[in-house]
Amino acid sequence: MSFDRPAGDYDRFMGRFSTPLAGLLADAAGVAGGMRVLDVGCGPGALTAELDRRGAQVAGIDPSEPFVAACRTRVPAADVRVGTAEELPWPDDSFDATLSCLVVGFMRDPARGVAEMARTTRPGGTVALCFWDVSRHEMLDLAGRMVAQVRRGDDPRPPRTGTGRGDLAGLLRGVGVEVAHDGELTVTAAYDGFDDLWDSLVHSAGPVGDAVATLTEQELGAAQDYTRTQVPEGPFTLSATAWCAVGHR
C-alpha cells in the first residue's frame, strides 16, 4: 500500500475531509496551548497544523518521507520525524497527549502502535484515536463501488481495525488506557463538480490509489462513466463519519 505520493495529491483526495476532522479530534482530546502533543501518522500535517494553531508544542511521525517533508514545511516549529507508530523514538512519558487521526487501520500492528502511544504519554495524559467508518464515508464508499463495478470482486474497502464500532475503544482498553469517550465524528467536504472529484480519485493514495493505479485504460474509462452517474451535476458535498475514542493513561 502506497502513501508515497505528492502531498498536494493527498490533500485533494483526503485533506478536504481530514482537515475539519483534525479540529474535531483535537477538541475531543482537549488539546490546549502549552501542551506537549504527539501526532502519530501525521501525513502532510492536517492534524499537526491544527495542534500548532492551538499553541501546543507539537511532534509528529509518519513512515512516508514525502509526507514528512510536507509536514515540516507546513509546521516548521514541529519536531517531525520519519518512522512508524510501532517504534516511536521518544522516551516514556514525553507527552501530555498523543493523537492518531486516520492511521490505526494502516498500522502493521495496531495493538503495538497504540501501546507505544500510551507509553509515550505521561500518567494521566490523553490518548485519542479516530478512523473512518468506511461504510459511512461517501467518497470512499463511492470509490470502492467504482472499482468493484469495473473489476468484479476487487474492492479497496476490506475490513480494517478501526472501521467497526468499538474497535478503537477496545485498543485503548487493551493497553490499559481508561476510556473516557467512545463515539463518532462527522465532517463534510465540498467539490466544485464531477471533474474535481474525478481528479482527486485519479491522484489518490492508499488502497484507493493502489486500486486505481492498476486499472487498464478501458477500465478507467468505465470507472469514470460509472462515477459520473453517482454524483449530481454542479457543486456538491459528501459526508464522512469516523469512529473516535479518547482515554486517559
CATH code for the domain of 35: 3.40.50.150
List, for residues 90-107, the tens digit of each pLDDT value.
Answer: 999 999 999 999 999 999
Residue 2 resides in a domain: no
Structure confidence at residue 90 (pLDDT): 98
Q: What CA–CA distances, in Å, run from 82 to 37, 40, 79, 120, 226?
A: 17, 11, 10, 17, 38
Among 74-78, 83-87, 156-160, 234-238, the range scoring the smallest mean pLDDT is 156-160
Residue 1 resides in a domain: no
> What is the maximal distance between C-alpha atoms in the chain?
56
**Is residue 182 within 8 Å of residue 165, measured between CB atoms?**
no
Residue 226 resides in a domain: yes
> pLDDT-based confidence at 5, cuts 50/70/90?
low
List, for residues 63-77, the tens digit of each pLDDT value.
Answer: 999 999 999 999 999
Q: pTM, whole model, 2 decimals? A: 0.92
Residue 227 resides in a domain: yes
**Is residue 18 within 8 Å of residue 187, measured between CB atoms?**
no
Percent of the chain with pLDDT over 70: 95
For residue 53, give the C-alpha cell.
494553531
Question: Does 220 score more than 80 pLDDT?
Answer: yes
Q: How far apart are CA 168 and CA 241, in angstroms?
A: 14
Range of the domain at 173: 7-248
Question: Does 119 score more than 90 pLDDT?
Answer: yes
DSSP code per residue over 13-24: IIIHHHHHHHHH
Structure confidence at residue 155 (pLDDT): 63
List, for residues 132-170, the tens digit of each pLDDT value.
Answer: 999 999 999 999 999 988 887 666 566 789 999 999 999
Number of structural domains the chain divides into: 1
Contacts (Cβ under 8 Å, ≥6 apart) of 190: 16, 235, 236, 237
CA atoms within 13 A on the CB side of 58: 32
Task: State the distance between the two ends of the chain, measured CA to CA, in whole angstroms.
Answer: 32
Question: Does 198 score more than 60 pLDDT?
Answer: yes
